[in-house]
Amino acid sequence: MTNKPLVNKRGQTEQEYLRTYDASQFERPSVTVDMLIFTVVDEQEENYRKLSPKSLQILLVKRGEHPFLGQWALPGGFVSPRESLEDAAKRELFTETNIQNIYLEQLYTWGDVGRDPRMRVISTSYMALVDSSTLSLQAGDDADEAEWFRIEDKWLKETKTATENGTVTEKWLELRLVNAKEELSATIKITKTIANRIVQEKREIVDAGNIAFDHAKLIQYALERLRGKIEYTDIAFALMPELFTLSELQQVYEVILGKELLAAAFRRKVADKVLETNQYRKHAGHRPSKYYRFNPEWMEQS
């Protein structure tokens, strides 16, 4: 018995339908990709007896074309019709910053109307945590400069209102991006609504400062996700050398989370993620500290 091809209400097979399909009947938005590249770097420390303090930084490019000419933005650009989102992300990152061969994880898709003054644009963002000491930055394409910026964020205020079916919580956050040349600042409002056990969250930019498009919102969201991922994944070890002390690893966790951690509690938290070695770190002004390495079997055990 032969199967008859399925037909629609107009009696068309799929091949007949596709031959007559009019793609122009729907307005088509443009698609872009934006990359959030984070790193942790050592800051200068005059006291040799202490570990160098670290800072969490993000890579930005200065726009060399309208719109937002001269403002700082995430690396990114338009997806061509014949390439995947991931291929577009890798291509744009390389042409704008000279970075290649890093692992990019898809983060979120942003589709607010009006987020780009040129046209309707939907953007998929990608995130990576990298060792910046292994990278050679070089601005290109429509980017005038490519620079690392230290990230600082703090909550400004919070209000909570009871409703008939739940609560509405509003928080205002200041995002500061700083390097030796420039200081950027943006204010973001996060509204969390709980009604009938349904949770909805909305982010909006109150003041974008000198950060182009809606990228301040993308940065804040990625920072939130990065802090969540460090708790239950091995992402922090992308920044560590083969051998490291637990104090060095704790510093990386602290700078990403934005808070100090109790040493004993931290060691219990990472105990399954690391393997103890018989080697020691020796440095003037320090007591010898035992070296550890990442435990590659941790994910299988968890």
Task: List, in sequence order, every residue forming a beta bridge with 159; answer none if it has no partner.
Answer: 170
Residue 140 has a pLDDT of 75
Candidate from 27-41, 67-81, 226-240 with smallest mean pLDDT: 226-240
CA–CA separation, 278 and 271 (whole Å): 16
What mean pLDDT comes out for the span 15-42?
93
Residue positions annotated with a catalytic role: 145
Candidate from 47-51, 227-231, 249-253 with smallest mean pLDDT: 47-51
Task: Say what percent of the chain tops pLDDT 90.
Answer: 74
CA–CA separation, 67 and 267 (whole Å): 48
- Residue 219: closest CA among 155, 144, 123, 151: 151
CA–CA separation, 153 and 174 (whole Å): 6
Alpha carbon distance, N-terminus to C-terminus of the chain: 51
Say whether pLDDT at 193 is over 80. Answer: yes
Name the average pLDDT for the chain.
Answer: 90
pLDDT tens digits for range 27-40: 889 999 999 999 99
Is the N-terminal amide bond of 67 cis, ω within 30° of 0?
yes
CA–CA separation, 96 and 147 (whole Å): 11
Measure the CA angle with vertex 198, ends 195 and 201; round to 5°: 90
Plot region of 285 (φ>0 → left; ψ -120 to 50 → alpha; else → beta): left
- Check: pTM over 0.95? Answer yes or no: no
pLDDT tens digits for range 195-222: 988 999 999 999 999 999 999 999 999 9
Residue 48 has a pLDDT of 47
User: Max alpha carbon distance in the chain (Å)?
Assistant: 85
pLDDT tens digits for range 252-296: 999 999 999 999 999 999 999 999 999 887 765 567 788 999 999
Cβ contact 31:121 at 8 Å = yes
Element (H, E) at 13: none
Residue 173 has a pLDDT of 97
Cβ contact 57:132 at 8 Å = yes
pLDDT tens digits for range 125-171: 999 999 888 888 887 767 788 999 999 999 999 999 998 889 999 99
